[in-house]
Amino acid sequence: MFNGVNVGGIRFLFWVVIMVISNSIEKNKISTIEEFAQHIVESVFDEEKEMSEEDKAAMDAKILRKLEMGAKLTKKEMDYLRRYNPNMYAHAMRVQAMAKAVEEQLKHARSKEEANRIVTTAITGISDKDPDKKYIVAAIHRVYGEFQKSPGYSRLPSTDEDSKKAHQSRGVMKKVTSDEEDDFDAMGWSPLQEVIDAMPKFEAGA
C-alpha cells in the first residue's frame, strides 16, 4: 500500500489498459496516434448515438447500391446492417458467402476454360426465384473480374486440353529425371574410383 493506494492493483489495471489498447490497434489496423484517437472517439459515441430514420434510409440505399454492383461490403457496413437491418444483413451475408465460395474454386482452376466453367455453373445454378439472384450474380462477376486480372489467371493454360498436355509433359520430364537418378549408383561411386577408372591400363608382359 502507498498512501492508501494498492500499487499492485494499479499495475494490474495499467496492464489491462495496455492490452486493450494493443488489441484495438491490431484489430482496427491503426498505425498513428491520430487514428487511435479518432477510433476512441468513434467507439464512445457510435454506441451511444442513435441514427435518425433519414440516416438509416440513406445508409440502406448506399449498401443496396453496392450489393447491386457486386461490391464487397466493409466491416462498418456489415456492422451497421447487423445492428439496424438484420434482414438485409442476412441477405448480404449469403451473397458474400456465395461469392467467396466461387473465389475459392477459381483458385484451384487448372485452365481459363475451367475458370469460366466454374463461374457459368455457379450462375446457372441460381434459381430465378432466388430473391438474391441479381446480387449474387453481380458479386460473382466482380470476383471473376478480379481473378482475371491476377497473375495466377494469366499463367493458366487456355483450355482443358492445353492443361492436360502440360500435365503430361511435366509427368514425362519427371520420369526422365527419375530414371537418370536411378541409373546413378550413389553408393558405389567415389572420387577415388573415378580417378582409377580413368588411369591407363597395362597388360602383363607388354
Task: Indicate if 105 and 133 belong to the same structural domain.
Answer: yes
Task: Indicate if 34 and 59 belong to the same structural domain.
Answer: no
- Pairwise CA distance, residues 86 & 103, whole Å: 25
Residue-number span of the structural domain to which 101 is assigned: 53-155
Per-residue pLDDT reduced to its tens digit, 50-59:
789 999 999 9
- Pairwise CA distance, residues 41 & 121, whole Å: 47
Structural domain ending residue among the three candidates 155, 170, 193: 155
Give domain status of residue 1, yes or no.
no
Task: Indicate if 67 and 135 belong to the same structural domain.
Answer: yes
Per-residue pLDDT reduced to its tens digit, 87-112:
999 999 999 999 999 999 999 999 99
pLDDT of residue 181: 56
Per-residue pLDDT reduced to its tens digit, 126-176:
999 999 999 999 999 999 999 999 999 999 999 999 888 877 766 545 554
Kindly tell me if the per-residue pLDDT of 189 is higher than 50: no
pLDDT of residue 109: 95
Per-residue pLDDT reduced to its tens digit, 26-46:
665 666 766 666 665 565 545
- Pairwise CA distance, residues 82 & 76, whole Å: 10
Number of domains in the chain: 2
Task: Indicate if 42 and 84 belong to the same structural domain.
Answer: no
Task: Indicate if 44 and 101 belong to the same structural domain.
Answer: no
Task: Indicate if 72 and 128 belong to the same structural domain.
Answer: yes
